[in-house]
Amino acid sequence: MRLFVIVAFAMLAALPVSAEVDIKEVTSPKGIPAWLVEEPSIPFVALEIRFRGGASLDLPSKRGATNLMTGLLEEGAGALDSQGFAKATEALAAQFGYSASDDTISISARFLTENRQEALELLRLSLLEPTFDEESLERVRGQVLAGIRSSEKDPNDIASRHFDALAFGDHPYGSSLEGTIESVAGLSREDIVTAHRNALALDRIYVAAVGDITEPELGALLDDLLGALPATGADLPARAELALSGGTTVVEFDTPQAVALFGHEGMDRDDEDFFAAYLLNTILGGGGFESRLMEEVRVKRGLTYGVYSYLVPKDLAALYLGSVSSANDRIAEAVEVIQSEWARTASEGVSAEELSKAKALLTGAYPLRFDGNGSIAQIMVGMQMQDLGVDYIATRNDNVNAVTLEDVNRVARELLAPDALQFVIVGKPEGL
C-alpha cells in the first residue's frame, strides 16, 4: 500500500455537510436522548452508545480496571456463561463490540430487523447484568497481560508510553489504559464491579442509531435497553496538566528503524480557533500527500514511508502530535527537517494557495463520510460527545470557508511552538 491511512480522532472535525442526512433528535419515554437517521433500505440497524469517562475513571492503583471490565462485558451475562452468550449472539448474527479509550467506553452494535428484540435483550444483559465470573476474569486477564508484555517490546507502543508519561505524569493520561503487569495482576472481581458501576451511567450516555427503525421504536428500545442503568456514575477526573518541556528523549531499543513521536500542547475542540487550527494542520502534516511534512520528508528526501501530524483534543487536555519512522542512520535528518518545517510554518505561516487547497480538501470531502449506516451512526455519536448540535452539519463548511489567511497564520504563531516540540525516539538513532 502506498500510504497507511491514519485514523486520527481529530478527523471528527472534518464532518461533512450533507442535505441527504435527516437527523431526528429522539428522547425516550424515560428521558434518554438519542439521534436517529431512518434508513429502511437495508434490514438492519447500526447502534452506537458512548459513556463519557472511559479508562480515565480508573481508581488510584487500579489502572486497567475499566479496560478489563469492558473486555468482560461479553464474557457472560444473566444466566448465560461466556460461551452461552457467544453462541446466542452468533445464532442471531448480531455483532457487538465493546471497547475502552481514555475518555470513553464505546459499544457498537449491528443487528438484523428480523430478530431485533432477541439481539437487544442480549445486549441489555451484557451492559446491565454482566456476571464477571472468576473464570472469565482470569482468562481475559491473561489476554490483557499478554498484550501488555507484547507492548513492552513494540517500538510504537514504547514510544507512546514514554511520551504519555512525559506529558501527563500521574494523571491517568500518563499511563496506558491497559494498566501494568502489576496493576492488572492485582485487580479483583470487586474492582471490576466497581469500575462497571462507576463508568456505565445515564448521566454520561450518548446514543446514535441509523437503519431500519422508526422514532417510536427507537424510543422504546432505549428504555428497554438502557433504562435500568444507574442515574449517575463516578466524578470525572480533573483536567490534566501538560508537563512537556521540549527536547529529544531517546529510548534505546535494538531495531533497524527508529520510531519517533513528537508533540506539544494542542487546542481544545470548543476553541473558537479550532477550524483555523484544523486547516493549519491539514497544510502542515494532516493532509496526506499534500502536506508540507510529507513533501519535505518523504517526497523530496525519501526519508520515511509516512510522516503525519494531528490535533488530539482529549476531554481533559489538548495535544498536537506527530509521528515518523526512519532507519536508525536517517532518523536524525528526518527530525531536523520536521523541526525546521515546524519553525518555518510558525514564523512564515502558510500561503493563500495552500489555504485554499486545504479548504477544498476539507469541504469537498464532506459527503464522503456519510456513506453507510455504521459510519453515520459513529459520526453522530461523536458530534454529541463534542457538544455539537444537529445544525452543525449545515453550517460546518461555511465555518471552514470563513477562516481567513490571517486567522490561520495568527494560529500558526500562537499554536506552533518549535522550541517546545518534544521528541521521543525509540530505536538506535545515530547522530541524536
Partner 1 sequence: MSRIIALAAGLVLAAFSANAQEQVTDFHLDNGMQVVVIEDHRAPVVQHMVWYRAGSADEPAGASGVAHFLEHLLFKGTDTLESGEFSATVAANGGRDNAFTSYDYTAYFQRVSADRLELMMRMESDRMVNLRLGEAEILTERDVIIEERNQRTENSPGALMREQLNAAQYLNHRYGVPIIGWRHEMETLSLEDALAFYRTYYAPNNAVLVVAGDVDPQEVLALANTYYGVLPANPDLKPRDRSVEPPQTSPRRMVFEDPRVAQPYVTRSYLAPERNPGDQKTAAALTMLAELLAGSTTSLMNERLQFEKNIAVYTGAFYSGSSLDQTTFNLTIVPAQGVSLEDAEAAMDVVLAEFMETGVNTEHLERIKMQMRASQIYARDSVESLANRYGRALSSGLTVADVQAWPDVLQEINEADVMAAAQLVFDDRQSVTGWLTGVTSEVSQ
| Touching partner 1, residues 368-397 (CB under 8 A) | 368, 370-374
238 binds partner 1 (CB under 8 A): no
305 binds partner 1 (CB under 8 A): yes
401 binds partner 1 (CB under 8 A): no
301 binds partner 1 (CB under 8 A): yes
**Torsion sign, CA atoms 374, 378, 384, 388:** negative
365 binds partner 1 (CB under 8 A): yes
According to CB under 8 A, which one of 287, 349, 382, 429 is a site residue for partner 1?
287
Residue of 177, 191, 183 lying closest to 132 (CA atoms): 191
According to CB under 8 A, which one of 18, 160, 175, 281 is a site residue for partner 1?
18
According to CB under 8 A, which one of 70, 106, 176, 304 is a site residue for partner 1?
304
According to CB under 8 A, which one of 91, 228, 352, 394 is a site residue for partner 1?
91
Yes or no: say if 174 and 3 are a contact pair by the CB < 8 Å rule.
Answer: no
The CA distance from 92 to 44, in Å, is 12
Q: Mask of contacts with partner 1, 115-134, x by CB under 8 A?
A: --------------------
112 binds partner 1 (CB under 8 A): yes
Q: Which is nearer to partner 1, 194 or 304 (CB)?
A: 304
Question: Exposure string (b/e) for 368-402, b if CB count within 10 Å is 16 or more?
Answer: ebbeebbebbbbbbbbbbbebeeeebeebbeebee
Q: How far is the CB of 361 from partner 1 (least distance, A)?
A: 5
Residue of 177, 84, 179 lying closest to 135 (CA atoms): 84
Q: Which is nearer to partner 1, 143 or 347 (CB)?
A: 143
Q: Which is nearer to partner 1, 142 or 389 (CB)?
A: 142
The CA distance from 393 to 395, in Å, is 6
Cβ atoms within 10 A of the Cβ of 105, count?
28
C-alpha cell of residue 25:
433528535
The CA distance from 47 to 285, in Å, is 33
Q: How far is the CB of 350 from partner 1 (least distance, A)?
A: 15
Q: How far is the CB of 323 from partner 1 (least distance, A)?
A: 11
Q: How far is the CB of 51 from partner 1 (least distance, A)?
A: 24
Stretch 306-335 residues interacting with partner 1 (CB under 8 A): 306, 325-327, 330
Q: Which is nearer to partner 1, 18 or 345 (CB)?
A: 18
Stretch that binds partner 1, among 169-177, 241-249, 252-260, 308-316 (CB under 8 A): 252-260
44 binds partner 1 (CB under 8 A): yes
20 binds partner 1 (CB under 8 A): yes
Q: How far is the CB of 145 from partner 1 (least distance, A)?
A: 7
Q: Which is nearer to partner 1, 230 or 302 (CB)?
A: 302
Q: Which is nearer to partner 1, 168 or 275 (CB)?
A: 275
Q: Mask of contacts with partner 1, 330-359, x by CB under 8 A?
A: x--------------------------x--
Residue of 211, 241, 233 lying closest to 317 (CA atoms): 241
361 binds partner 1 (CB under 8 A): yes
Residues in Cβ contact with 106 at an 8 Å cutoff, skipping those fewer than 6 apart: 48, 49, 50, 97, 98, 99, 100
Q: Which is nearer to partner 1, 86 or 236 (CB)?
A: 86
256 binds partner 1 (CB under 8 A): yes
Stretch 156-195 residues interacting with partner 1 (CB under 8 A): none
114 binds partner 1 (CB under 8 A): yes
